Structure 1
Amino acid sequence: MQVSIETTTGLERRMTVGIPAEQVETEVTKRLQQATKTVRLNGFRKGKVPLKVVKQRFGAGVRQEVLGEFMSRSFYDAVQQEDVKPAGQPAIEPKEMAEGKDVEFVATFEVYPEITLSDTSAFEVEKLNAEVQDADVENMIEVLRKQQASWSEVERAAANDDQVNIDFTGTKDGEEFDGGKAEGQDLVLGSGSMIPGFEDGIVGMKAGEEKVLSLTFPEDYQAEELKGAAVEFTVKVNSVSEQVLPELNAEFFSKYGVEGEDETQFRAEVRKNMERELKNASKTKLKNQVMDKLIEAHEVDLPKALVAGEVEALRNQMMQQFGGAQPNLDLKSLLPDEMFTEQAERRVALGLIVGEVVKAGEIKVDADRVRETVEEMASTYQDPEEVISYYYSNQQLLASVESVVLEDQVVDYILAGAKVTETDSTYDEVIKPAEQAQ
């Protein structure tokens, strides 16, 4: 086998592979001879069909099959011989396929980039320390009560946190616009679900009252024709209802998986869940800081094939969240690549960098930590042992946990040498998403 390889641009490689004709023809002949023993053709007994006849009838198909197998096998033999690591599948272009001549094909592919790790001991990260306080538990219970609240109609002016039932019509330059009209719509005042000023304008109105609100759409509004537009909404209030919170009783407790009327047990369960949430949030924020530092400290050439694969995975993941793809749906038009490119590039870059850290630090997946992680995930289910068994019987699921644990070990490895500042914080601050904390 003859191999030559050249760099075209960046990570792309162009490899030309030659396979001696004798090897191909020998394999083709061997398969045709085997076929003479099994094929059935009119006028011949089974096993008595001449090789010449079999070759006339099946030679082209057998040869095509052999060529495909030889090119695939030769490609992977060639990359091992040349010590290159392809990223993604190659594009194969046949050059010489004629019978009796040496086979030649060109494989174009990308390789994984070489990454030189930066000095991670210069990383500076902040670890937030917090504990769940009694007041935090009280606040959480109020949140849970509001989730199960009912509404009771009242004869008074609407206030924030009330629910109003309204009819409204929006106009721009005196003309109604698409999506600006509704009848009998429920709206919780203060929820921020309408454009700025809309909900504030309803505060103080009573059932049966009508009012015109002069408002301006935000500059970043999704509808192009309404961005920054001055509009008027004619709003009529049909009813005003106030929130009625449920009692702390057995019926309420059961909705959150606690049976019986023991309020102390319910509060203990709420606290336990909050402590688990706090631990995970603190760990995630620390991990995200480390990952951000890794991205900032390394410039990585990204193989297009890996980014494209990650884009496709993210697109499919989003479709699953919306109930799966529908037949005849053009996903690329509905969810174009641009929606996922930035996230895909980050994930690919991190994967490559983390992989290099794993190699440099000779980090192996800790089986005990994998078990602890699975057990912690299973603890939120009714039958934890059944969940644990399911994870350990499903190699794909277990591999996903191992991948997360390995990332956690990489974070620990980096933190061991980084500058970590510990800061006292609160439950609310720690669990707040990073973008809201800024």
Structure 2
Amino acid sequence: MQIQEISASGLKREYKVVINAAALESTVNEKLETLRSRVNMPGFRPGKAPAALIKKQYGRALLGEAMEESVNSALQKTIEDNKLRPAMQPKVDFSNFEEGKDFECTIAIEVLPDIEPGDFKAIKLERLVVEPTEAEVEEFVKRLADQQKTYEKVDRASEKGDQVVIDFVGSVDGVKFEGGSASDYPLVLGSNSFIPGFEDQLVGLKAGDEKTVSVTFPEAYGNAELAGKPAEFACTVKEVRGGQAVTVDDEFAKRFGLSSAQELRDNIKRDLGQEYKAIARLRMKRGLLDQLAETHDFPVPEGMVEMEFNQIWSEVTADRARFETELAEEKKTEDELKAEYRKIAERRIRLGLLLSEVGRQNNIEVKQEEITRAMIEQARRFPGQERQVMEYFQKNPEAANSLRAPIFEDKVVDFIIEMADVTEKTVTKEELQKEAEAVA
């Protein structure tokens, strides 16, 4: 076997492999003898069929196996001898092959770049701190109480906060649309669960009243066919129900498995604090990634960038109608937008390789119990199907590995943050939310 480097440009390497015809034939003959001892052919005792007959019937298949094994061996030897770290699966190009002659092929390998992480102590980060206020806790308690509120039928006109039971049929340009109709639908006026303006037009109606509600679907509505379009809903009020106030006391807290109203408030304050910390961490992580991207510039494998770009682009263009609308609003051509998303793909790959290298150099690993916890968290998202979800991850290593990646990334990010110069800044909830929206 002869291996020769024929080109080296950037992260791309190409090698020419020549496998001697005699060596290839020897491998085929060994396989023939092994097969001959096992195969049964009509008219011959087991293991006694002539080699020529076995070769005639199975020779091409065995030659294919021998060629594949030779290429795999050449690939492994090329990687080991040249100390290569392939970024992706190498590509093998077979030249024209004639039986009895030397077998030639080329192996194209794109390798990972050499990465030298910078001085993380020079990174300056800001951690936003928000302490939940008593007003926020009480607001949350009120929402919980409203969710537990019961409604009783009343004989009067509807008011904001009441629940109305309605039948409705929606139409756009006089044509009914899928999902636009319902019967006996309980709607709390002021819950903002329907299209803006819908609920307001049902205030002041009594049981038996009919009303044509005119609204316009938001531009960002989930259904692109309805987004931004005016619509009418023929509504019939069947019942008006008044809400019965819920007292927030120890008995109310017991509905949530707690012993007292104070424990309920303490838990809410704790949970709000954790939520604010998570948002603040996301904002700080984005700041860290921005600085890492600015201070680290190294070549990235084109193949990896292309794969990442294709995934991003398929998501962007999944809803073609919305995509074309965005193109028009941003006044960009498709090629210009592609160029922007390709830069995003390159940034993602560069940051991913950098974090991976930091993790490798510092022996950061994801333990099995961490992956198991992530599986359990995923399973909890599907009540009643927890066992099936766990079995899915256990039987699909790729799915389980998809849980490993974000855990590894967060551990590396935490490792870098520990070394960075981090200052804290106390802000309000509204300021934190504004920062989070900017990150999004």
Q: Matched residues in 2 for 1:212 and 1:296: separation?
A: 56
- Cα contact 2:110–2:301 (8 A) shared by 1: no
Distance in 1, Cα, partners of 2:49 & 2:312: 51
Contact 2:152 2:242 in 1 (8 A): yes
Cα deviation, residue 30, structure 1: 1.5
Q: Deviations over 1:342-376 (max 9, x none)?
A: 897765443212123335xx322278x99799889
Q: Which residue of 1 aligns with 2:105?
A: 105
Partner of 1:364: 363
C-alpha contact (below 8 Å) 2:364/2:412 kept by paired residues: no
Indicate conservation of the 8 Å contact 1:366/1:405, yes or no: no
Say if 2:354 is the partner of 1:353. yes
What does residue 3 of structure 1 align with? 4
One-letter amino acid of the counterpart of residue 41, structure 2: L
Matches within 5 A, 1:113-192: 113=113, 115=115, 117=117, 123-170=123-170, 172=172, 175-179=174-178, 181-184=180-183, 185-192=185-192
d(CA) in 2 for partners of 1:272 and 1:106? 61
Q: Deviations over 1:130-151 (max 9, x none)?
A: 3445544444333333444433
Q: Name the amino acid aligned to 2:32.
A: L
**1:435 pairs with one of 422, 434, 437:** 437
User: Amino acid of the residue matched to residue 351 of structure 1?
Assistant: G
Q: Match of 1:287, as an amino acid?
A: K
- Structure 1 residue aligned with 2:281: 283
Q: Cα distance, 1:251 vs. partner?
A: 7.8
> Where do 1:13-92 residues align within 5 Å?
13-92=13-92
Measured in 2, the distance between the counterparts of 1:280 and 1:363 equals 25
Could you tell me which amino acid in structure 2 is paired with residue 104 of structure 1? E
Distance between the aligned counterparts of 1:187 and 1:159, measured in 2? 12
Tell me by how many angstroms 1:74 deviates. Answer: 1.4
CA shift for structure 1 position 297: 5.0
Distance 1:291 1:160, change over 3 A: farther
Partner of 1:294: 292
What is the rounded CA distance, in whole Å, between the counterparts of 1:437 and 1:58 in structure 2?
A: 62
SS in 2 for 1:92: strand
Rounded to whole Å, the distance in 1 between the matches of 2:434 and 2:154 is 35
Q: How far did 1:223 drift?
A: 5.2
Alpha carbons of structure 1 residues 77 and 310: separation in structure 2 relative to 1, 3 Å: farther
Assess, with a 3 A threshold, how the Cα gap between structure 1 residues 285 and 312 changes in structure 2: closer, same or farther. same
Over 3 Å counting, the alpha-carbon distance change for 1:195 and 1:404 in structure 2 is: closer
- Deviation for aligned residue 1:95: 1.0
Q: TM-score normalised to the size of structure 1?
A: 0.70
Mapped contact 2:11–2:110 kept (Cα < 8 A): yes
The change in CA–CA distance for 1:209 and 1:307 in structure 2 (over 3 A counts) is farther
TM-score, normalization by structure 2: 0.70
| 8 Å contact kept, 2:170–2:181 | no
Instruction: Show CA shifts across 1:188-238 (max 9, x none).
Output: 333444333223333343333334444444344455565544444444433
The alpha-carbon distance between structure 1 residues 309 and 94, as it changes in their structure 2 partners (threshold 3 A), is same
Deviation at 1:78, TM superposition (A): 1.7
Secondary structure (helix, strand or coil) at the match of 1:128 reads strand
Superimposed CA distance per residue, residues 218-267 of structure 1 (whole angstroms, 9 cap, x where no aligned partner): 34445556554444444443333344465557886565444xx5445555
Q: Distance in 2 between matches of 1:39 and 1:46?
A: 7
Counterpart in the other structure of 1:410: 412
Preserved contact between residue 374 and residue 403 of structure 2 (Cα < 8 Å): no
Q: How far 1:104 moved relative to its partner?
A: 1.2
Percent identity among equivalent residues? Answer: 32
Residue pair 1:206, 1:237 contacting (<8 A) in 2 also: yes
Q: Which runs of 5+ in 1 are unaligned?
A: 319-331, 383-389
Aligned match of 1:420? 422
Decide whether the 8 Å contact of 2:171 with 2:231 is kept in 1.
yes
Contact 2:132 2:269 in 1 (8 A): yes
Unmatched 5+ residue regions in structure 2? Answer: 324-340, 381-389
Letter in 2 for 1:66: A
